[in-house]
A and B are shown apart, each in its own frame.
Chain A
Amino acid sequence: MGRAMGLAGLLLGLLLVPAVLLSTSLGRGDPPPEPELGLGLGLGEGPLAAAAEDSLWPLPQSLRTSRRQLQLAPDRFQLVHGAGSSAGPGCGILQDAFRRYYEYIFGQSRWRSPGRRWPSLRRELSQLQVVIAAPEPGCDSYPRLASSEAYYLTIAEPVAVLKADEVWGALRGLETFSQLVHEDDYGSFLVNESVIYDFPRFAHRGILLDTSRHYLPLKSILTNLDAMAFNKFNVLHWHIVDDQSFPYQSMYFPELSNKGAYSYNHIYTPTDVRLVIEYARLRGIRVIPEFDTPGHTQSWGKGQKDLLTPCYNGEQPSGSFGPINPIWNSTYDFMTKFFKEISSVFPDAYIHLGGDEVSFDCWKSNPDVKDFMKEQGFGIDYAKLESYYIQKILDIVSSYNKGYMVWQEVFDNKAQLKPDTVVEVWMANNYAHELSSVTQAGFTAILAAPWYLDYISYGQDWKKYYSVEPRNFPGSEKQKKLLIGGEACLWGEFVDATNLTPRLWPRASAVGERLWSSSNVTDLQDAYKRLSNHRCRMLRRGIAAEPLFVGYCAHEARG
């Protein structure tokens, strides 16, 4: 039978499985080879000290940890606001995060009676004090591209201190702290004295979900936001509508989803959308909706008459429709109103306007469109018509004080873009060259091309995603800085609630570390070990993340 792992897989398996087994069972033997952490790690050489970093994901920028262990007592340990913090008990984001992370840290041990006292043979860590330094902590605001996610975490007896400029950094630091606490053989919760200074390498670290090819129940989206926070992702790119269905329930144009959704059960109501935005905000995640036009809009046509271009068969309309009709005023009236709604529903400063894969066949077939081309002096260059349309949409959206993201074709077709436009590079063919062109033109770029996670293959493909170096394109230092991040995309042709989570996690985690950690964190063996443990932790927290390879977790998914 054999299926066997293939030689490479086999070798790797032999090398790596023992490491997984060691770190998940607690009776550790020899520590695995010292990982290259890039930054000083000198103190922790004993087997127990190694445990802490063995499961950190994504790896912090700077980490020093000692062998001195502190014990946390579930019935005494507290997450609190520290002295001098600009945030206090009125800070909803932190209050919720304190409760959440307490659960993640001690989750399985809630059976302990609150009054029970454990004889503490070790030094105890009694508090994690969170201090927000900025005068305006940001408790009621939304995360932004420019938000500070940096934090400084010192864990020492008797209290740990987590300092961050804004609440967003505190959220990241809480995640790291929760990853450092581990349970020993006797059920004690231990953390090593450590000092961590951490910040993201890239400001935009996104996951794209597609709710048009298949509808994703609200619960799936929320669960995914949890997993994103565990991996320090900070952008949900919500590809909410497309050709196949229009699940977004518009207040101005309810017919769009009445007619364009798969069914009345397959829609996102305004309440659903608000819930997603708030759930994401509490985890420091921005929600950027994508309303892709003028292509990918078949489902819009069902609920909005005269929006799409009628295609012709010779002299007669064929009955089918193409992209949005760019030649009518009514189109722009509709878009003006529609994007007014979108701009107010979604608080983020950016809207994704799509602009990809416009097929010109239908436009070419339509006599009115052809007349218009002539009138405008476009000749037979339909890219000009596309740009004409996009230009008007960009102006509309700009007028609502929103910035925009677009797929790379909009740049390629030379539409005139505002300087702060974010161009998303998705075409796998020579994406380095595209990054170079986009940044040379002075635009901000986001990379998605090597991270189309819907393209599955046999084996450990996370390594491929992990090994991408986003800044590896020809260009000046200034150009490199214009690459602000990336997105892992899970297109929905073959994905719905049944397979979303195991297909996304932990494969997207590989992208998460690439976008957060230092560029020299590239050791696959070390990553395998940490990611295996991180995956087990995700299982414990209720995320059905699939295995990297052979092995097991102490707490398996329930199934």
Chain B
Amino acid sequence: MAAARPLLLLLAALGPAGAVWPQPLRQLSPPAAGRCPLSPGLFRFSYASGSAVGPGCAVLDEAFQRYRALIFGAARSAESKQPWRKPCTELSVLVSTPGCDGFPSLNSNESYKLHISRDSLLLYADAVWGALRGLETFSQLVGRDEDGMYYVNETEIVDSPRFPHRGLLLDTSRHYLPLKAILQTLDVMAYNKLNVFHWHIVDDPSFPYESFTFPELSKQGAFNAMTHVYTASDVQAVIEYARLRGIRVIAEFDTPGHTQSWGPGAPDLLTPCYLGKDPSGTYGPINPILKSTYQFVTSLFQEVGAVFPDYFLHLGGDEVDFTCWKSNPQIRAFMEEMGFGDDYTKLESFYIQRLLDIVSSLGKGYMVWQEVFDNRVKVRPDTIIHVWKNSPPYKEEMANVTKAGYKALLSAPWYLNRISYGQDWMAAYQVEPLDFTGSPEQKALVIGGEACMWGEYVDVTNLAPRLWPRAGAVAERLWSDATVRNLQDAYRRLASFRCELLRRGVQAQPLFVGYCDHEFDGV
């Protein structure tokens, strides 16, 4: 019988408390580090005097509550009976820049410092977003000894992310994901210090986004118009839930391809395909030659631009199939008129160009899949090019994109939907995003990466175990220093982090043989 022996026979050692995932930039533990006991009854988070934010700051108020629960679970809640101060009863948070009501952005400062000693527990951050990351680190430092006593070891941490864009893509078109599954994913993203939720919300198979400008889109295009949709309040809930965790929500409305589900609810939007002289009854990409198309696109993106507060929208632009355009006589006439010859990438660019102008005029920035760059569409200098293809090798593409002066975002080696037997997190972990030929200026244009969980074979039944802890490998690659890449050390910390995820109720699958004190009991 016997499944083959895995390559790396590593014991599933339970990591000691203090192993943080992703690993902080710098952590110093004094040689004779003391241990601070934490009392579930007494411990609390507080704002330090001099902090630019204080009580009433929703981002931190709620984070304090969340992390208390995460650290102590169902242990006794706060009831401060003793009036005197004991050591280690309070983590004081000092944020130097005001601002609690805004949204995180590409330029947000996520750095923080954490000081843990028996004299004081202090968390310093420039902005609330850094404080959130520091609270997560603190929660991972807390351990529990054999007597059930909570403690944290004395230590100093200085931490900041290596890349500002650390994303996760979920696809809610191939399969619908219930709101709860999305919110739970946002929780786990925060545990991993990921900060961008790339919401690939619609695609060929279904259109679950309920548009108030074009309600027919989801009425006709969702799997089920009543149950398999995201209402406006669902979308708001996702955005706010993400904001409270320092996560940006970037919505993708991919055009002109990947739009089959748009067709039923938007007459004349898609290109009618022809069989010889007659329409075949099937449809292709968005029809780029009609004025009405651009009116529609303008109205839709006006709505989407207003609904999603992030500066960036993802406009897709990938995998446009020209077969249908080629079959359509009006399109062919238009090609001639425009002098495009037989080069349909020019028609694609024509469409994308106009789309980008529309989105720009709405005051939004954009991300696009790499084809838009490959097809030489003129894009604004601040455009983010999303590199997803493995052929040609993504390193070449990274070099080309940055050489042309554009910001690059890497996903090609991180298609986590492509599963295989064994510890495939290691391959994801070993990727080095800056390992391509280029100048330091070029390297500086790489803003990060995204783990992608495309939905062909994924729905709520298998999303969480397929995502976690595999996406954790990507998270550390994007947060931690480039030198942090020892697999054995990573295994030990990731296995222990995975047990922590189970303790927090996340259905994270095992890395390899072993066990956790708190197993998943959801079934």
Do B519 and A547 have beta carbons less than 8 Å apart?
no
CA gap between A4 and B184 in the complex, in Å: 26
Do A456 and B420 have beta carbons less than 8 Å apart?
yes
Residues of B within 8 A of A214 (CB): 510, 513-515
Instruction: Encode contact with A along B199-229: 1 for CB under 8 Å, 0 otherwise.
Output: 0100001100000000000000001100110
Do B388 and A494 have beta carbons less than 8 Å apart?
no
Q: Given A219-B521, A551-B175, A557-B461, answer yes or no on A356-B2 (Cβ-Cβ < 8 Å).
A: yes
Instruction: Encode contact with B along A140-158: 1 for CB under 8 Å, 0 otherwise.
Output: 0000000000000000000
Instruction: Encode contact with B along A400-430: 1 for CB under 8 Å, 0 otherwise.
Output: 0000000100000000000000001010000
CA gap between A559 and B513 in the complex, in Å: 25
B319 proximal to A (CB < 8 A)? yes
| Shortest beta-carbon distance from A66 to chain B in Å | 31
Q: Which of A220, A426, A455, A551 contacts B1 (CB 8 A)?
A: A426
Q: Which of A354, A492, A539 contacts B461 (CB 8 A)?
A: A539
A82 proximal to B (CB < 8 A)? no
| Shortest beta-carbon distance from A224 to chain B in Å | 9
Instruction: Encode contact with A along B314-354: 1 for CB under 8 Å, 0 otherwise.
Output: 00101100000000000000000000000000000000000
Residues of A within 8 A of B510 (CB): 214, 494-496, 498-499
Do A3 and B421 have beta carbons less than 8 Å apart?
no
Q: Given A219-B521, A496-B519, answer yes or no on A556-B507 (Cβ-Cβ < 8 Å).
A: no
Do A1 and B452 have beta carbons less than 8 Å apart?
yes
Instruction: Encode contact with A along B403-425: 1 for CB under 8 Å, 0 otherwise.
Output: 00000000100010111111100
CA gap between A22 and B514 in the complex, in Å: 44
**Which positions 43-78 of chain A face chain B at CB distance < 8 Å?**
none
B504 proximal to A (CB < 8 A)? no
**Which positions 523-552 of chain A face chain B at CB distance < 8 Å?**
539, 544-552
B454 proximal to A (CB < 8 A)? yes
B151 proximal to A (CB < 8 A)? no
A244 proximal to B (CB < 8 A)? yes
Do A239 and B1 have beta carbons less than 8 Å apart?
yes
How many B residues face the partner with a CB closer than 8 A? Answer: 67
CA gap between A383 and B392 in the complex, in Å: 51
Q: Which of B227, B415, B507 contacts A498 (CB 8 A)?
A: B507
Q: Given A213-B513, A296-B2, A424-B1, answer yes or no on A549-B521 (Cβ-Cβ < 8 Å).
A: no
Task: Name B507's closest neighbour in chain A (CB-CB).
Answer: A498
CA gap between A460 and B419 in the complex, in Å: 12
Among A13, A214, A215, A220, the one with the most B-chain Cβ atoms within 10 Å of its Cβ is: A214
A519 proximal to B (CB < 8 A)? no
Q: Which of B177, B318, B421, B463 contacts A456 (CB 8 A)?
A: B421
Do B421 and A550 have beta carbons less than 8 Å apart?
no
Q: Which of B178, B417, B421, B502 contacts A558 (CB 8 A)?
A: B178
Do B456 and A215 have beta carbons less than 8 Å apart?
no
The A interface is mostly helix, strand or loop, or mixed, namely loop
**Which positions 251-288 of chain A face chain B at CB distance < 8 Å?**
262-263, 265-266
| Shortest beta-carbon distance from B250 to chain A in Å | 13
CA gap between A457 and B180 in the complex, in Å: 28
Do B2 and A357 have beta carbons less than 8 Å apart?
yes
B296 proximal to A (CB < 8 A)? no
Q: Given A498-B465, A559-B178, answer yes or no on A550-B456 (Cβ-Cβ < 8 Å).
A: yes
CA gap between A503 and B1 in the complex, in Å: 19
Residues of A within 8 A of B176 (CB): 552, 556
B174 proximal to A (CB < 8 A)? yes
A25 proximal to B (CB < 8 A)? yes
A371 proximal to B (CB < 8 A)? no
Selected A-B contacts with CB under 8 Å, 27 pairs: A1-B388, A208-B1, A214-B510, A292-B1, A354-B1, A407-B1, A448-B1, A455-B3, A456-B421, A457-B420, A457-B421, A494-B423, A494-B510, A496-B510, A498-B464, A498-B465, A499-B462, A539-B461, A546-B458, A547-B457, A549-B457, A551-B205, A552-B176, A556-B459, A556-B460, A557-B459, A559-B181
Q: Chain B: residues with CB nearer than 8 A to chain A?
A: 1-3, 6, 169, 174-178, 180-181, 184, 200, 205-206, 223-224, 227-228, 254, 316, 318-319, 369, 386, 388-389, 411, 415, 417-423, 452, 454-466, 502, 507-515, 517, 519-523
